[in-house]
Structure 1
Amino acid sequence: MKLYPIEAGNFKLDGGAMFGVVPKSLWNKTNPADDNNMIDIAARCLLIEEGDKLILIDTGMGDKQSEKFFGYYYQWGDHSIDNSLKQHGFHRDDITDVFMTHLHFDHCGGSVQWNENRTGYEPAFKNARFWSNNDHWLWATQPNAREKASFLKENIIPMEQSGKLHFLEKEASKTLTTSEELGFGVFFADGHTDKQMIPHISYQGKTLVFMADLLPTVGHIPLPFVMGYDTRPLLSLNEKELFLNKAADEEFYLFLEHDAHNEIITLKHTEKGVRLDKTFTFNELFN
């Protein structure tokens, strides 16, 4: 097995929305805001090369939306999926599987693109299967009013229409659901959105966990630091406490999808609770 970080493109989000009820005087220390109260956000995906499989976890927001849409998110930098894949010797047509932690636009928008004459949409990875889970798919395709703006039909329905949509189902009695087809375990979390999937990957003697929106940035480590986007913030708090304690106990390496300045971290127990231990770049840790 080989792993590769794939940078799908940086953007900015409102710091207050990213930290909910936490005062700016606190979150601004770890995630400094610009004059518009916007903070740096990454869309850092993960590519898994295993045998004849090439599995991409999440795809960023893509580039098919309107100029008005992207005007809300202040894209910055020159990262793209295509450039990042190319740096590692791959092309999007090589991807065999696209695993989506959840279907919010900044995690799955890159899975679908305009067709050649821009009359409709098609999968952006023409040879890939697309992975979600049944409960989250229903949640996304019949969205509540609060999340409706994050579940865009043009990002979701074309995957189903392609005939290549597959579901991973939660094993009710287990903390981790293991997919033999994909080769990694998945922790299901419900606080941010229903049945978000958090991959756990065994690699070079370490457990690497793709954090998605269970832990967006280093600044979200303290338990009350929960995003305003979460649909069930008290459940998020409980899920974070369970996971962060386990991560500190078992020395997990946490791969941060949204932290523009920290790729991988470890955690430790302190008198104040679980806190940051060490930070690593991917290359420092694995190359």
Structure 2
Amino acid sequence: MKLTPVSAGHFHCDGGALFGAIPKVLWNKVYPCNDDNFTQLTLRCLLVEIGDRKILVEAGIGNHYPEKHLKNNGVTSVDELEKSLIEKGFSATDITDVFFTHLHWDHCTGAVKNVDGQLELVFPNANLWSSKTQWEHAKISNPRERAAYHRQVLDYMMESGKLKLIEKEGEWLPGFEIKMFDGHTPGQMLPILHTAKHAFVYTSDLFTTAANIPVLWISAYDLDPVQVMKEKGEFLKEAAAKNYILYFEHDYYTECASVHETEKGVLLKEKFRLKELL
């Protein structure tokens, strides 16, 4: 198994939304914001090579949104994903699979592009993967979450015949394990990637940033805060016991981190760059 970070650009969100009920005087010390209260986030995808499979975890945002929407969300680039792949020695046609942890706009809509008003697949040779639970939820959702789904893009993925649905957690491919979490949104899938040296967890929105590791530091975007706290608490104990390395999709400042048990619960232990661990 080979792991390669791939960038799909950057964006931002309100610090109060990122940390929910945690007071700004606390979170701003560990994850700073600008004068408008915006915290800088990134879209850090991951290319996983297993045998002849080249699996891209997440696909970023893409070019579907009006300029006002992009500006309001601090989106810096709508075409960085393909550029980043090329810089790492790959092309869009090399990708065999695109794995979506869930179907919110910042995680999956970059797998489709708008070309003169027509939708096209960015990765024409790839199957696209979502959990069945998340796909079914995305169709009904609720007023609070509905804006996070781009219905036209999702329907296009399904109608293309490329979108496949995963029904259960466990080993998906050799060394590529899936765990399901429902608090942020039903059917969120986190990959656990078992390499020769470490097990890496692609944290998606279970741990948006390293600052979100403490159980109570949860996002206002989470649909079920109580469920998120339960899932985080249980998984953090597993991560500490099994020495997992957390790989952050959205943390602008921290790529990877380890955790350990303390008197105050499981907390951040050490920060790393992925290349230091491979």
TM-score in terms of structure 1 length: 0.93
2:268 and 2:54 mapped to 1: Cα distance?
31
Aligned position for 2:111? 111
3-state SS in 2 of match to 1:245: helix
Other-structure match for 2:143 = 145
Task: Give the aligned partner of residue 188 of structure 1.
Answer: 180
The Cα of 1:74 is off from its aligned counterpart by 1.2
The number of aligned residues is: 278
**Relative to structure 1, is the Cα distance of residues 120 and 215 closer, same or farther in structure 2, using a 3 angstrom cutoff?**
same
Report the Cα distance in structure 2 between the residues aligned to 1:225 and 1:9, rounded to whole angstroms.
25
1:48-86 CA-partner distances (Å, limit 9, x unpaired): 112211100001111221101102111348981122111
- The 4+ residue runs of structure 1 with deviation greater than 3 A are 76-79
- Asked if 1:260 is matched to 2:258, the reply is no
In the other structure, the counterpart of 1:126 is 124
Kindly report the root-mean-square deviation, in angstroms, between the aligned alpha carbons of the 2 structures.
Answer: 1.5
2:265 equivalent to 1:247: no
Matched residue type, 2:85: L
Instruction: Report the Cα distance in structure 2 between the residues aligned to 1:204 and 1:96, rounded to whole angstroms.
Output: 23
Describe the SS at the equivalent of 2:29. Answer: coil
Structure 2 spans left out of the alignment, 5+ residues? none
Instruction: Map 1:14-29 to 2 at 5 A.
Output: 14-29=14-29
Confirm whether residue 169 of structure 1 aligns to residue 167 of structure 2: yes
Matching of residue 50 in structure 1 with residue 50 in structure 2: yes
Unpaired runs of at least 5, structure 1: 171-175
1:191 Cα offset (Å) = 0.4
Matches within 5 A, 1:47-86: 47-76=47-76, 80-86=80-86
CA shift at 1:188, angstroms?
Answer: 0.3
Q: What secondary structure sits across from 1:41 in the alignment?
A: strand
Query: Are the counterparts in 2 of residues 7 and 79 from structure 1 also a CA contact under 8 Å?
Result: no
Are the aligned partners of 2:175 and 2:194 in contact in 1 as well (CA < 8 Å)? no
CA contact (8 A) 1:121 1:154 kept: no
Question: 2 CA distance for matches of 1:37 and 1:204?
Answer: 41
Q: 2:74 corresponds to which letter in structure 1? A: Y
Amino acid at match of 2:171: T
Instruction: Tell whether the 8 Å contact from 2:175 to 2:195 is kept in structure 1 after alignment.
Output: no
In structure 1, the partner of 2:40 is 40
Report Cα offsets for 1:113-165 as digits up to 9, x if no partner: 113xx232122111110001211101112221111000111331111011111
Identity of paired residues, percent? 40
**Rounded Cα–Cα distance in structure 2 between residues aligned with 1:35 and 1:185:** 41
User: Which whole-Å CA distance do the structure 2 matches of 1:80 and 1:184 have between them?
Assistant: 26
Normalising by structure 2, report the TM-score.
0.96
Offset of residue 229 of structure 1? 0.3
- Helix, strand or coil: the match of 2:277? helix
Change beyond 3 A, Cα 1:268–1:48: same
Q: Is the contact between residue 254 and residue 266 of structure 1 (CA under 8 Å) also seen in structure 2?
A: yes
The whole-number CA distance in structure 2 between the counterparts of 1:76 and 1:122 is: 22
